[in-house]
Amino acid sequence: MHSAMNKVEQTLQGYAVPSLQTRDQAWEMLEHKIQRNDYRVKTRVARLNGFVGFASAAAVFFAILYLGMFSTGKYSPEISAGIARVETVELPDGSQVWLNSNSNLKYHVNKFTGERNIVLDGDALFDVEKGGKFLVNFSGGTVKVKGTEFYVSAYTADMIQVDCIDGLVEVSLNGSEYRLGKNTGIKMYRGSVSKPYAVSASEVNERLDGIFYWNSVTLQEVFDRIGYRFGYSIHPDASLLRRNFSGRLELNDLQECLMVVSTAMRMDYTINEENKQITFHAN
Amino acid sequence: MKVVKGTDWFKNTFDEYYEFIRNYLYYLSGDIELAEDLTQDVFMKTWQLKDKINDETLKPLLFKIARNLFLNTRKRKKLDLKFVNTNVQRSENESPEYLLEMKEFDWRLQKALSALPEQCRTIFLLNRIDDMKYQEIADHFGVSIKAVEKQMSKALKLLREKFDYKM
């Protein structure tokens, strides 16, 4: 063996995993937890019930189970994240996807070219392993990368947002091409494409916790986001659409976020559960 | 007849696998606080499932639970392994130049290990640091020995590429 590798092996022999507590301390803590029976499965949305953990595991399981589909040229079955839930999906190339609330995804890997094709309907954060082309297709556009971290929100062609957290992202929106560098985003809302804006990784990560920030956007845009995220159609009074909204909203609980936004914007709302409709009135 | 597993079974399981699971989670995350935290969760889950667990599949199950819990954690930070290097601790009588060179090499190796792809890294470290045999690793991950060998070769190749030309 080469002397450099001998040195690697020798150094490795001296390595130990650091520890903050001994095994006995860990056992004591565990016993205490069992007695208190305070266990809660950790998920990205801790407030939700234990099904989330199971569903996440199931999503990953399906991702692995359908490995065989790559050679047939077919897409994987659709993986879905329920309302206000986040599913973690590991793609066969090691890329990670965090699928946000009320979103669906399917994928296909070309075994000859290594090209990875994703079809997204909704919101997701991608952490892409280096490799062949990685394409995210959605209604109204495409994102093309090789290995990077980025966020796509595309519930509909009317409201698309792409934020690049790391690396370089090529975005195609309505036939026009845009290149986004690190910490830059672009938005297309109802046919109008914004100028690239600055975005931080923490802001994007917070979206997976259901926290969204707006800076002087129309109420219509906020309504649209709430509607897509929770799966409702929203019908506001026309006069409300002229109002602007700035601020932070937590969109994990429908009633709670409707209460906050309606109080802040001096509105009333009614929900029709049967038709999945929310109506807003100025007060 | 259904065997009900009690505290003794659970304590033995904990004693036998605590370090393996904690280390595995450290190799995945590079964050010892998170690794220890998730190890608690793995064993809490095991406690909850204990009566449904088949002892023969216990080991792979623990690794699977650990990995699933890890994948469900909040967005992870960039992996940065920081092993305790006992060689450095043992070499205090060596010359400052030697110690400096050793520390520099140690730093480069930890960076190189952190940069290995996930599966390759975890398999390599379980073998080299936890002394797990290829067969054991294959059993834990539910893969073939061939697959383990492949990941080991990949790890060695990547390390060789980094160190052969930079010594």
Query: DSSP string spanning B106-149?
Result: HHHHHHHHHTS-HHHHHHHHHHHTS---HHHHHHHHT--HHHHH
Choose the closest CB to A44 out of B74, B118, B159. Answer: B74
Distance CA A74, CA A10 (A): 47
* Cβ pair A30:B14 closer than 8 A: yes
| Contact present, A229 and A102 (Cβ < 8 Å) | yes
pLDDT tens string B4-21: 567 888 999 999 999 999
Q: Which residues of B touch A14 (CB under 8 A)?
A: 85-88, 90
- From the list B34, B62, B57, the residue with the least C-alpha distance to B46 is B62
For residue A83, the distance in angstroms to the closest alpha carbon of chain B comes to: 17
| Contact present, A50 and A68 (Cβ < 8 Å) | no
**Predicted local distance difference test score (pLDDT) of residue B162:** 86
User: How many contacts does A have with B, using Cβ atoms within 8 A?
Assistant: 130
| Contact present, A105 and A120 (Cβ < 8 Å) | yes
DSSP annotation of B38 = H
pLDDT tens string A29-77: 898 877 765 333 233 333 333 334 444 455 544 544 444 444 445 788 8
Choose the closest CB to A20 out of B36, B72, B159. Answer: B36
pLDDT tens string A209-264: 788 988 889 999 999 999 999 999 999 999 898 899 988 888 988 988 898 888 88
Distance CA A96, CA A56 (A): 13
Choose the closest CB to B73 out of A4, A9, A42. Answer: A42
Q: Which residues of A touch B159 (CB under 8 A)?
A: 5, 8
For residue A13, the distance in angstroms to the closest alpha carbon of chain B comes to: 7
* Cβ pair A15:B38 closer than 8 A: no
For residue A182, the distance in angstroms to the closest alpha carbon of chain B comes to: 16
Q: Quick one: average pLDDT of A154-175?
A: 92
Q: Which residues of A touch B98 (CB under 8 A)?
A: none
Choose the closest CB to A88 out of B33, B71, B117. Answer: B71
Residue A275: HSE in the Cβ half-sphere, 13 Å Cα cutoff: 9
pLDDT confidence bin for A155, thresholds 50/70/90: very high
Q: Which residues of chain B have pLDDT under 70?
A: 1-5, 74-78, 89-92, 165-167
Distance CA A153, CA B59 (A): 39
Rg (CA), chain A: 22
For residue B134, the distance in angstroms to the closest alpha carbon of chain A comes to: 17
Token pair of A176, please?
A: 């026009």
Q: Which residues of B touch A46 (CB under 8 A)?
A: none
Choose the closest CB to A94 out of B35, B117, B159. Answer: B117
**Predicted local distance difference test score (pLDDT) of residue A2:** 59
In A, what residues contact B, Cβ < 8 A?
2-5, 7-21, 23, 26-27, 29-30, 33-34, 39, 41-44, 53, 56-57, 60, 88, 90, 94, 96, 98, 125, 129, 205, 208-209
**Predicted local distance difference test score (pLDDT) of residue A205:** 82
A20 or B91, which is more confident?
Answer: A20
Distance CA A263, CA A225 (A): 18
Q: Which residues of A touch B141 (CB under 8 A)?
A: none
pLDDT tens string A120-134: 999 999 989 888 899
Interface test with A, best of B75, B98, B143 (most A CBs within 10 A): B75
- From the list A74, A85, A46, the residue with the least C-alpha distance to A251 is A85
For residue B142, the distance in angstroms to the closest alpha carbon of chain A comes to: 13
* Cβ pair B84:A41 closer than 8 A: no
